Chain A
């Protein structure tokens, strides 16, 4: 026997290094201990961040992945450890985030016997992963890890779960690095069809009122430049989905704002007036479309997509342009004619003015009354020169965050879109500081959601993670309260929050904190937060019963937005 054999656990570490992993988020336990033991010798290359709960590990890996464009990596133990990752894995699946989650598992001989901390992780995660695999032999480690990273990052990205049995971690293997970059049953990027490109250009050239919907696909495809070239040449106004907000600078003249239930008025109303709807890397979520039966019926639809199963799923596409949007957008740009759509584009102006007067100004420049979420968000954005990464939790804090934060750079929005996972924000923000260490990371979080993953204050303390936490405390589960106000006759069933003293909690973790109630203090408090090295908790006592507006009520038509509540 040659004595150059290594354990499966050591093979995992080398395979991770081989994939370029530098950071992983995790939490140890029985079934993953051999891997943690191997990790001990790789601490100089693999920076392991000990989180305080496995859900935090996955959300942190998501944050890391989304701001860096790399694959996020988490490592946890079997049974309860693996189950605690499920929410994050599901969140990454619907939001197309590349992740590799490695779970320990009982030894192969114990599988199926209800052994201690055995859960059928493959069965549980099958519907919420792009791929999952149980590694039962050390020989499979190199192949499985490489295949996992290839699948997670190629095509439409997504999460992969590797279920790593204990015997496979401890048994010995002749390790040889593997590189999987081809799977015969998997075509990550559909072949671009030149006819579709020409047809799309023709439709754009013939259109008098084109309107483009930009989704996260543009960021994932690294196609921000290609997007700009197309819209600037053909003069196409754009609306962005929540996850696509930073695909185009907020102040670009063709950026008409956010789509969806709490998006901007112009892009929503004019969706039902354009003659050509061009969707790029977005999936017509019901929070974007409202009533699907009346959605853009007057328009022809072009759908630029990397995932063929998205085409015709919710909205019928007259033309599908399959492929990587970096390529397809550039190809279409060659064939489009410069157009002057100024008359059409000017139709956004009255809606902008109306929204500005009725909704935006009162939200960001209130003259009196309690502090508002909108003004806090806008001031933080301004005082970071609109260059920071916006992280939100879920709820009103998220909607105000996404409405009033402004962006100049790509990959700057980190929010739980498809899943709407409360508790996402804090750990995702931690991950973001590792994925983009040179950037400022600002988290807006509610008093409800902060408590869902507040244990990650411990991770922040240990790592001295420079997360700027802006707690928008309205002592309510505000978003649910808003719906109760609107649709359940103001019966506030279990939405008022009895809150702890957050400053004291922060103090317990050594995180500097400040609470403000008065508008006059806002700028100096933000300034203090931004100029404090490392983490900071800025608690803002905001208006208790504020509502996010405008709003398309659930089931209403996309152009039926309420600007005020009467």
Chain B
């Protein structure tokens, strides 16, 4: 993580910030990059609402959101991606963790986590048959055709969000997409330590 001080002068790497001493734009605290916030909470009603309200107040759009039960019984896991500055993601993460029934909130940049996303494409079968490049594109993206009938075909792709963007863009250019849906990114950390387990163990609570 970039450490910075708001006392420093202009770094010269970009036009706006004047906040850090890093002469590398990728480390600049003002650069807007994707962050993934992984949050764990008790399985109580209304917590998702509390979490999303933190983003609304800070005027940050949630890019994708996934909520599911975690490997710890009674604990829910939220995987949230957004684009913002590091300063903003720090504030958001602390404000989420402040909620009484939130166990833990941490933010990550893409190389600290393993991310996957699933997408479903419903394509027009007549277009698919007319245009051989469509099935070539599907194969090039390692996507799978899972159902075909005379009206439509269903294609699935599991991959990085960027892979899904790219397949969608190609298929759109063939004008064959009837429906498209994606799950939102899900992620596990690459950390060798399990921070939630450590937190719960340190409380001396058998979970």
Chain A residues proximal to chain B, CB less than 8 Å? 122-123, 126-127, 130-131, 151, 183-186, 297, 307-309, 311-313, 316, 318
Contact = CB atoms under 8 A, between A and B. Distances in A.
Interface in B153-191: none
A307 B205 contact: no
6 contacts: A122-B46, A127-B53, A131-B100, A183-B101, A308-B98, A311-B94
A183 B50 CA distance: 18
A131 B42 CA distance: 14
Given A185-B42, A312-B87, A316-B7, 9 more contacts: A130-B100, A183-B100, A184-B203, A184-B205, A185-B100, A185-B102, A185-B103, A309-B91, A312-B90
Nearest to B40: A185
Contacts, number: 44
Nearest to B75: A185
B100 A309 contact: no
A148 to B, nearest CB: 11
Given A309-B95, A316-B5, A316-B6, A186 B87 contact: no
Contacts of B102: 185
Contact of A312 (B91, B97, B200): B91
Interface string B91-114: 100110110111100000000000
Contacts of A186: 100-101
Interface in B86-143: 87, 90-91, 94-95, 97-98, 100-103
A126 B50 contact: yes
A151 B42 CA distance: 16
Nearest to A308: B94
Nearest to A315: B6
Interface residues on B, range: 20 to 34
B94 A126 contact: no
Contacts of A308: 94, 97-98
B49 interface: yes
Contacts of B7: 297, 316
B41 interface: yes
A185 B91 contact: no
Given A126-B49, A184-B205, A185-B42, A313 B91 contact: yes
Given A312-B87, A316-B5, A184 B53 contact: no
B90 A307 contact: no
A10 B50 CA distance: 31
B113 to A, nearest CB: 22
Nearest to A318: B5
Interface of B: 5-7, 41-42, 46, 49-50, 53, 57, 87, 90-91, 94-95, 97-98, 100-103, 200, 203, 205
Main secondary structure of the interface of B (DSSP, over half): mixed
B49 A185 contact: no
Contacts of B94: 308-309, 311
A202 to B, nearest CB: 18
Contacts of B57: 127
B41 A185 contact: yes
B110 to A, nearest CB: 23
Most buried by A among B41, B94, B203: B94
Nearest to B19: A316
A330 B90 CA distance: 29
Contacts of B103: 184-185
B200 to A, nearest CB: 7
A318 B102 CA distance: 27
Q: Which of B6, B42, B53, B203 has the most CB of A within 10 A?
A: B6
A184 B203 CA distance: 7
A316 B86 CA distance: 13
Contacts of B50: 126
Nearest to B203: A184
A309 B98 contact: yes
Nearest to B103: A185
Contacts of B46: 122, 126
A185 B53 CA distance: 19
A401 to B, nearest CB: 31
Contacts of A313: 91
Q: Which 10 pairs from chain A and chain B are nearest by CB?
A: A309-B94, A316-B6, A185-B103, A131-B100, A309-B98, A186-B100, A309-B95, A185-B101, A184-B203, A308-B94
Contacts of B100: 130-131, 151, 183, 185-186
Contact of A126 (B6, B53, B87, B203): B53
A269 B94 CA distance: 32
Nearest to A311: B94
Contacts of B101: 183, 185-186
Contacts of A122: 46
A309 B97 CA distance: 9
Contacts of A311: 94
B200 A184 contact: yes
A309 B50 CA distance: 15
A318 B8 CA distance: 12
Nearest to B18: A293
A295 to B, nearest CB: 10
Nearest to A182: B203
A257 B57 CA distance: 34
A184 B50 CA distance: 18
A318 B98 CA distance: 22
Contacts of B42: 185
B98 A307 contact: yes
A183 B203 CA distance: 10
B161 to A, nearest CB: 29
Nearest to B42: A185
A307 B49 CA distance: 22
